[in-house]
Amino acid sequence: MAAGTLSAQKLYSEKHIDYVKKLDSRKDELEYWLTEHLRLNGVYWGLTALHLLGCPDGLPREDAINFVLSCQRENGGFGAAPGHDAHMLYTVSAIQILVILDAVDELEKRGLGGKQKVGSFIAGLQDQNTGSFMGDEWGELDTRFLYGALNALSLLNLLDLVDVTKAIAYVQKCENLDGGYGICPGAESHAGQVFTCVGALAIAGRLDLVDKDRLGSWLSERQLDNGGLNGRPEKLEDACYSWWVGASLAMIDKLHWIDGSKLAAFILRCQDPEAGGFADRPGHAVDVFHTHFAVAGLSLLKFEGIDEVDPVYCMPKAIIRKIFSA
Protein backbone atom coordinates (compact mmCIF):
# COMPACT_ATOMS: atom_id res chain seq x y z
CA MET A 1 0.00 0.00 0.00
CA ALA A 2 1.40 3.41 -0.93
CA ALA A 3 2.02 5.56 2.11
CA GLY A 4 1.10 8.61 0.04
CA THR A 5 -2.55 7.62 -0.23
CA LEU A 6 -2.80 7.28 3.56
CA SER A 7 -1.29 10.62 4.56
CA ALA A 8 -4.00 12.36 2.54
CA GLN A 9 -5.92 12.32 5.80
CA LYS A 10 -4.18 13.81 8.79
CA LEU A 11 -3.37 12.07 12.07
CA TYR A 12 -3.50 14.48 15.00
CA SER A 13 -0.69 12.82 16.99
CA GLU A 14 0.04 15.73 19.31
CA LYS A 15 -3.64 15.99 20.29
CA HIS A 16 -3.79 12.28 21.04
CA ILE A 17 -0.63 12.42 23.14
CA ASP A 18 -2.09 15.31 25.14
CA TYR A 19 -5.40 13.47 25.53
CA VAL A 20 -3.73 10.36 27.00
CA LYS A 21 -1.35 12.32 29.24
CA LYS A 22 -4.21 14.29 30.73
CA LEU A 23 -6.30 11.21 31.59
CA ASP A 24 -4.47 10.83 34.86
CA SER A 25 -5.22 14.39 35.99
CA ARG A 26 -9.02 14.12 35.72
CA LYS A 27 -9.60 12.69 39.18
CA ASP A 28 -12.25 15.29 39.92
CA GLU A 29 -14.41 14.06 37.06
CA LEU A 30 -17.14 11.50 37.51
CA GLU A 31 -15.86 9.46 34.57
CA TYR A 32 -12.62 8.75 36.41
CA TRP A 33 -14.43 7.09 39.29
CA LEU A 34 -16.86 5.25 37.07
CA THR A 35 -13.94 3.61 35.32
CA GLU A 36 -12.03 2.64 38.45
CA HIS A 37 -12.53 -1.02 37.64
CA LEU A 38 -10.56 -0.48 34.44
CA ARG A 39 -7.69 1.50 35.92
CA LEU A 40 -4.76 -0.91 35.44
CA ASN A 41 -5.95 -1.79 31.93
CA GLY A 42 -6.25 1.93 31.25
CA VAL A 43 -2.61 2.52 32.12
CA TYR A 44 -1.59 -0.25 29.68
CA TRP A 45 -3.78 1.19 26.91
CA GLY A 46 -2.52 4.74 27.46
CA LEU A 47 1.13 3.76 27.80
CA THR A 48 1.10 1.61 24.65
CA ALA A 49 -0.65 4.34 22.66
CA LEU A 50 1.96 6.88 23.80
CA HIS A 51 4.79 4.56 22.75
CA LEU A 52 3.28 3.97 19.31
CA LEU A 53 2.72 7.72 18.91
CA GLY A 54 6.42 8.29 19.54
CA CYS A 55 6.10 9.60 23.09
CA PRO A 56 7.44 6.71 25.25
CA ASP A 57 8.14 8.95 28.24
CA GLY A 58 4.66 10.48 28.27
CA LEU A 59 3.66 8.94 31.62
CA PRO A 60 5.85 9.44 34.71
CA ARG A 61 7.74 6.10 34.90
CA GLU A 62 8.16 5.89 38.67
CA ASP A 63 4.49 6.77 39.32
CA ALA A 64 3.36 4.13 36.86
CA ILE A 65 5.53 1.43 38.48
CA ASN A 66 4.34 2.42 41.97
CA PHE A 67 0.73 2.27 40.82
CA VAL A 68 1.17 -1.20 39.29
CA LEU A 69 2.79 -2.56 42.45
CA SER A 70 0.06 -1.01 44.63
CA CYS A 71 -2.51 -3.16 42.78
CA GLN A 72 -0.84 -6.47 43.69
CA ARG A 73 -2.59 -8.84 46.12
CA GLU A 74 -1.22 -11.42 48.55
CA ASN A 75 -1.92 -14.25 46.07
CA GLY A 76 0.50 -12.68 43.57
CA GLY A 77 -2.18 -11.49 41.13
CA PHE A 78 -3.17 -7.90 40.40
CA GLY A 79 -6.49 -6.08 40.77
CA ALA A 80 -7.79 -3.19 38.66
CA ALA A 81 -6.85 -0.67 41.35
CA PRO A 82 -5.51 -0.84 44.93
CA GLY A 83 -7.81 -2.94 47.11
CA HIS A 84 -9.56 -4.68 44.20
CA ASP A 85 -9.55 -8.49 43.88
CA ALA A 86 -6.88 -10.04 41.68
CA HIS A 87 -7.98 -11.07 38.18
CA MET A 88 -6.24 -12.51 35.13
CA LEU A 89 -6.96 -9.49 32.90
CA TYR A 90 -5.40 -6.96 35.30
CA THR A 91 -2.48 -9.26 36.02
CA VAL A 92 -1.72 -9.40 32.29
CA SER A 93 -1.90 -5.59 32.05
CA ALA A 94 0.42 -5.27 35.07
CA ILE A 95 3.04 -7.49 33.43
CA GLN A 96 2.70 -5.73 30.06
CA ILE A 97 3.18 -2.33 31.74
CA LEU A 98 6.25 -3.50 33.67
CA VAL A 99 7.74 -5.00 30.48
CA ILE A 100 7.12 -1.79 28.51
CA LEU A 101 8.74 0.24 31.31
CA ASP A 102 11.65 -2.27 31.50
CA ALA A 103 10.77 -2.72 35.18
CA VAL A 104 10.04 -6.45 35.60
CA ASP A 105 12.88 -6.65 38.13
CA GLU A 106 10.83 -4.39 40.41
CA LEU A 107 8.72 -7.51 41.10
CA GLU A 108 11.74 -9.07 42.81
CA LYS A 109 12.72 -5.88 44.61
CA ARG A 110 9.37 -4.56 45.78
CA GLY A 111 6.66 -7.01 44.66
CA LEU A 112 5.03 -9.71 46.78
CA GLY A 113 7.08 -12.84 46.08
CA GLY A 114 8.74 -11.84 42.80
CA LYS A 115 7.74 -12.91 39.29
CA GLN A 116 7.48 -16.56 40.39
CA LYS A 117 4.54 -15.65 42.63
CA VAL A 118 2.78 -13.88 39.75
CA GLY A 119 3.40 -16.92 37.57
CA SER A 120 1.94 -19.22 40.25
CA PHE A 121 -1.21 -17.08 40.47
CA ILE A 122 -1.72 -17.36 36.71
CA ALA A 123 -0.87 -21.08 36.60
CA GLY A 124 -3.32 -21.71 39.44
CA LEU A 125 -6.15 -20.48 37.18
CA GLN A 126 -5.65 -23.23 34.58
CA ASP A 127 -8.50 -25.73 34.57
CA GLN A 128 -6.77 -29.11 34.84
CA ASN A 129 -9.59 -30.89 33.00
CA THR A 130 -9.94 -28.71 29.91
CA GLY A 131 -6.62 -26.83 29.79
CA SER A 132 -8.52 -23.52 29.60
CA PHE A 133 -8.12 -20.68 32.09
CA MET A 134 -10.41 -18.94 34.56
CA GLY A 135 -10.27 -15.18 35.10
CA ASP A 136 -10.30 -15.47 38.87
CA GLU A 137 -11.30 -17.79 41.69
CA TRP A 138 -14.96 -17.55 40.61
CA GLY A 139 -14.25 -19.78 37.67
CA GLU A 140 -15.64 -18.11 34.53
CA LEU A 141 -13.89 -19.64 31.47
CA ASP A 142 -13.11 -17.51 28.41
CA THR A 143 -10.46 -17.81 25.68
CA ARG A 144 -9.45 -14.25 26.62
CA PHE A 145 -8.06 -15.60 29.88
CA LEU A 146 -6.20 -18.40 28.13
CA TYR A 147 -4.53 -15.93 25.77
CA GLY A 148 -3.77 -13.58 28.67
CA ALA A 149 -2.14 -16.39 30.64
CA LEU A 150 0.14 -17.38 27.77
CA ASN A 151 0.90 -13.72 27.01
CA ALA A 152 1.98 -12.80 30.56
CA LEU A 153 3.77 -16.09 31.30
CA SER A 154 5.77 -15.93 28.07
CA LEU A 155 6.79 -12.33 28.85
CA LEU A 156 7.99 -13.55 32.26
CA ASN A 157 9.70 -16.59 30.69
CA LEU A 158 7.51 -18.85 32.87
CA LEU A 159 5.45 -20.72 30.26
CA ASP A 160 6.65 -24.01 31.70
CA LEU A 161 4.42 -23.42 34.75
CA VAL A 162 1.34 -24.41 32.72
CA ASP A 163 0.24 -27.23 30.41
CA VAL A 164 0.57 -25.45 27.06
CA THR A 165 -0.30 -28.56 25.04
CA LYS A 166 -3.61 -28.93 26.85
CA ALA A 167 -4.35 -25.20 26.45
CA ILE A 168 -3.75 -25.44 22.71
CA ALA A 169 -6.00 -28.50 22.43
CA TYR A 170 -8.74 -26.40 24.07
CA VAL A 171 -8.21 -23.56 21.57
CA GLN A 172 -8.62 -26.05 18.73
CA LYS A 173 -11.98 -27.10 20.18
CA CYS A 174 -13.14 -23.46 19.93
CA GLU A 175 -12.54 -23.41 16.15
CA ASN A 176 -15.70 -23.27 14.03
CA LEU A 177 -16.49 -24.48 10.52
CA ASP A 178 -16.40 -20.87 9.25
CA GLY A 179 -12.71 -20.73 10.24
CA GLY A 180 -13.29 -18.40 13.21
CA TYR A 181 -13.16 -19.08 16.95
CA GLY A 182 -15.65 -18.56 19.79
CA ILE A 183 -15.50 -17.85 23.51
CA CYS A 184 -15.78 -21.59 24.27
CA PRO A 185 -16.36 -24.80 22.24
CA GLY A 186 -19.56 -24.47 20.16
CA ALA A 187 -19.91 -20.69 20.58
CA GLU A 188 -20.26 -18.54 17.45
CA SER A 189 -17.20 -16.97 15.87
CA HIS A 190 -16.30 -13.52 17.12
CA ALA A 191 -13.32 -11.40 16.02
CA GLY A 192 -12.26 -10.67 19.62
CA GLN A 193 -12.09 -14.40 20.33
CA VAL A 194 -10.33 -15.04 17.03
CA PHE A 195 -7.60 -12.65 18.15
CA THR A 196 -7.17 -14.36 21.53
CA CYS A 197 -7.17 -17.89 20.04
CA VAL A 198 -4.78 -17.09 17.19
CA GLY A 199 -2.60 -15.08 19.60
CA ALA A 200 -2.42 -18.06 21.97
CA LEU A 201 -1.46 -20.35 19.07
CA ALA A 202 1.20 -17.82 17.96
CA ILE A 203 2.74 -17.69 21.44
CA ALA A 204 2.76 -21.49 21.61
CA GLY A 205 4.40 -21.66 18.17
CA ARG A 206 1.40 -23.54 16.74
CA LEU A 207 0.06 -21.27 13.97
CA ASP A 208 0.37 -24.35 11.76
CA LEU A 209 -2.93 -25.48 13.33
CA VAL A 210 -4.84 -22.54 11.79
CA ASP A 211 -6.71 -22.97 8.50
CA LYS A 212 -5.33 -19.66 7.24
CA ASP A 213 -7.32 -19.42 4.02
CA ARG A 214 -10.65 -20.18 5.70
CA LEU A 215 -9.98 -17.87 8.66
CA GLY A 216 -8.57 -15.17 6.36
CA SER A 217 -11.79 -15.22 4.33
CA TRP A 218 -13.99 -14.91 7.41
CA LEU A 219 -11.85 -12.06 8.77
CA SER A 220 -11.72 -10.14 5.49
CA GLU A 221 -15.52 -10.33 5.25
CA ARG A 222 -15.57 -8.17 8.38
CA GLN A 223 -14.75 -5.07 6.27
CA LEU A 224 -17.79 -2.93 5.42
CA ASP A 225 -18.26 -0.46 2.58
CA ASN A 226 -17.30 2.45 4.85
CA GLY A 227 -13.86 0.81 5.35
CA GLY A 228 -14.45 -0.07 9.03
CA LEU A 229 -14.46 -3.62 10.42
CA ASN A 230 -17.11 -5.40 12.47
CA GLY A 231 -16.70 -8.23 14.97
CA ARG A 232 -19.15 -10.67 13.38
CA PRO A 233 -21.70 -10.73 10.55
CA GLU A 234 -24.56 -8.17 10.60
CA LYS A 235 -22.88 -5.97 13.24
CA LEU A 236 -21.77 -2.36 13.01
CA GLU A 237 -18.18 -1.30 12.38
CA ASP A 238 -16.07 -0.28 15.38
CA ALA A 239 -12.54 1.19 15.49
CA CYS A 240 -11.37 -1.41 18.04
CA TYR A 241 -12.05 -4.20 15.52
CA SER A 242 -9.31 -2.64 13.42
CA TRP A 243 -7.14 -4.33 16.02
CA TRP A 244 -8.94 -7.62 16.73
CA VAL A 245 -9.45 -8.35 13.02
CA GLY A 246 -6.32 -6.60 11.72
CA ALA A 247 -3.91 -8.24 14.17
CA SER A 248 -5.44 -11.67 13.50
CA LEU A 249 -4.96 -11.16 9.76
CA ALA A 250 -1.39 -9.97 10.36
CA MET A 251 -0.59 -13.09 12.43
CA ILE A 252 -1.67 -15.36 9.56
CA ASP A 253 -0.04 -13.13 6.89
CA LYS A 254 -3.35 -12.10 5.30
CA LEU A 255 -3.55 -8.42 6.24
CA HIS A 256 -3.42 -7.57 2.52
CA TRP A 257 -6.80 -9.32 2.10
CA ILE A 258 -8.56 -6.18 3.37
CA ASP A 259 -8.38 -2.66 1.93
CA GLY A 260 -5.84 -1.00 4.24
CA SER A 261 -6.30 2.50 2.79
CA LYS A 262 -10.05 2.39 3.37
CA LEU A 263 -9.58 1.05 6.91
CA ALA A 264 -7.01 3.76 7.74
CA ALA A 265 -9.39 6.42 6.43
CA PHE A 266 -12.20 5.01 8.61
CA ILE A 267 -9.97 5.00 11.72
CA LEU A 268 -8.93 8.60 11.08
CA ARG A 269 -12.61 9.62 10.87
CA CYS A 270 -12.98 8.32 14.46
CA GLN A 271 -10.49 10.94 15.75
CA ASP A 272 -11.49 13.96 17.77
CA PRO A 273 -9.22 16.48 15.99
CA GLU A 274 -9.66 19.07 18.74
CA ALA A 275 -9.66 17.30 22.10
CA GLY A 276 -7.67 14.28 20.86
CA GLY A 277 -8.47 10.60 21.27
CA PHE A 278 -10.45 8.13 19.15
CA ALA A 279 -14.04 6.89 19.44
CA ASP A 280 -15.58 3.57 18.37
CA ARG A 281 -17.03 5.29 15.30
CA PRO A 282 -17.11 8.79 13.79
CA GLY A 283 -18.87 11.42 15.91
CA HIS A 284 -18.97 9.38 19.14
CA ALA A 285 -17.25 10.27 22.43
CA VAL A 286 -13.58 9.25 22.64
CA ASP A 287 -12.12 6.92 25.28
CA VAL A 288 -8.67 5.52 26.06
CA PHE A 289 -9.61 1.94 25.05
CA HIS A 290 -10.57 2.94 21.50
CA THR A 291 -7.69 5.41 21.30
CA HIS A 292 -5.24 2.61 22.03
CA PHE A 293 -6.74 0.10 19.59
CA ALA A 294 -7.23 2.71 16.84
CA VAL A 295 -3.58 3.76 17.06
CA ALA A 296 -2.50 0.10 17.18
CA GLY A 297 -4.68 -0.58 14.10
CA LEU A 298 -3.03 2.27 12.20
CA SER A 299 0.33 0.84 13.24
CA LEU A 300 -0.54 -2.56 11.73
CA LEU A 301 -1.27 -0.67 8.49
CA LYS A 302 2.20 0.91 8.74
CA PHE A 303 0.68 4.37 8.91
CA GLU A 304 3.29 7.09 8.64
CA GLY A 305 4.46 8.51 11.98
CA ILE A 306 3.37 5.55 14.13
CA ASP A 307 5.83 3.06 15.60
CA GLU A 308 5.50 -0.63 14.82
CA VAL A 309 3.23 -2.72 17.02
CA ASP A 310 3.59 -6.46 17.67
CA PRO A 311 0.39 -8.18 16.43
CA VAL A 312 0.61 -11.01 19.00
CA TYR A 313 1.25 -9.01 22.18
CA CYS A 314 -0.21 -5.61 21.23
CA MET A 315 2.89 -3.93 22.55
CA PRO A 316 5.66 -1.95 20.80
CA LYS A 317 7.48 -4.34 18.45
CA ALA A 318 10.93 -3.10 19.47
CA ILE A 319 10.23 -4.07 23.10
CA ILE A 320 8.95 -7.54 22.18
CA ARG A 321 12.00 -8.12 19.98
CA LYS A 322 14.30 -7.14 22.85
CA ILE A 323 12.53 -9.39 25.37
CA PHE A 324 12.70 -12.49 23.19
CA SER A 325 16.20 -11.96 21.84
CA ALA A 326 17.66 -11.71 25.36
CA dihedral 127, 130, 133, 138 (to 10 degrees): -50
End-to-end CA distance of the chain: 33
Which residue, 38 or 201, has its beta carbon nearer to Zn ion?
A: 38
Which residue, 194 or 201, has its beta carbon nearer to Zn ion?
A: 194
In the complex, minimum distance from the CB of residue 241 to Zn ion, in angstroms, rounded to a whole number: 7
In the complex, minimum distance from the CB of residue 187 to Zn ion, in angstroms, rounded to a whole number: 19
Binding flag, residue 240, Zn ion (CB under 5 A) = yes
Which residue, 146 or 240, has its beta carbon nearer to Zn ion?
A: 240
In the complex, minimum distance from the CB of residue 36 to Zn ion, in angstroms, rounded to a whole number: 20
In the complex, minimum distance from the CB of residue 31 to Zn ion, in angstroms, rounded to a whole number: 17
> Closest CB to Zn ion belongs to which residue?
240
In the complex, minimum distance from the CB of residue 295 to Zn ion, in angstroms, rounded to a whole number: 14
In the complex, minimum distance from the CB of residue 66 to Zn ion, in angstroms, rounded to a whole number: 30
Of 35-43, 98-106, 217-225, 233-241, the segment contacting Zn ion by CB under 5 A is 233-241
- Taking alpha carbons only, the member of 91, 90, 72, 81 closest to residue 34 is 81
Q: How many residues line the site for Zn ion (CB under 5 A)?
A: 3
CB 3: neighbour CB atoms within 10 A?
A: 11
- DSSP line for 157-209: T-GGGS-HHHHHHHHHHTB-TTS-B-SSTTPPP-HHHHHHHHHHHHHTT-GGG
Which residue, 75 or 248, has its beta carbon nearer to Zn ion?
A: 248
Which residue, 87 or 290, has its beta carbon nearer to Zn ion?
A: 290
φ and ψ of 310, to 5 deg: -90, 120
Q: Measured between alpha carbons, how far is 3 from 260 in angstroms, rounded to an integer?
A: 10
Residues 266-295 that bind Zn ion (CB under 5 A): 280
Of 60-68, 189-197, 240-248, 257-265, the segment contacting Zn ion by CB under 5 A is 240-248
Which residue, 68 or 240, has its beta carbon nearer to Zn ion?
A: 240
Residues 68-97 that bind Zn ion (CB under 5 A): none
Residues 92-111 that bind Zn ion (CB under 5 A): none
- DSSP line for 19-61: HHHHGGG-TTSHHHHHTGGGHHHHHHHHHHHHHHTT-TTSS-H
| Out of 136, 238, 272, 287, the residue judged to bind Zn ion by CB under 5 A | 238
In the complex, minimum distance from the CB of residue 297 to Zn ion, in angstroms, rounded to a whole number: 11
Q: Strands (DSSP E) along 231-326, which ranges? A: 309-310, 315-316
* DSSP structural state of residue 249: H
Burial of 253 (0-12, 13-18, 19+ CB in 10 A): exposed
In the complex, minimum distance from the CB of residue 281 to Zn ion, in angstroms, rounded to a whole number: 9
Which residue, 94 or 240, has its beta carbon nearer to Zn ion?
A: 240
Which residue, 170 or 243, has its beta carbon nearer to Zn ion?
A: 243
> Beta strand pairing status for 315-316 and 309-310?
antiparallel
Contacting residues toward Zn ion, per CB under 5 A: 238, 240, 280
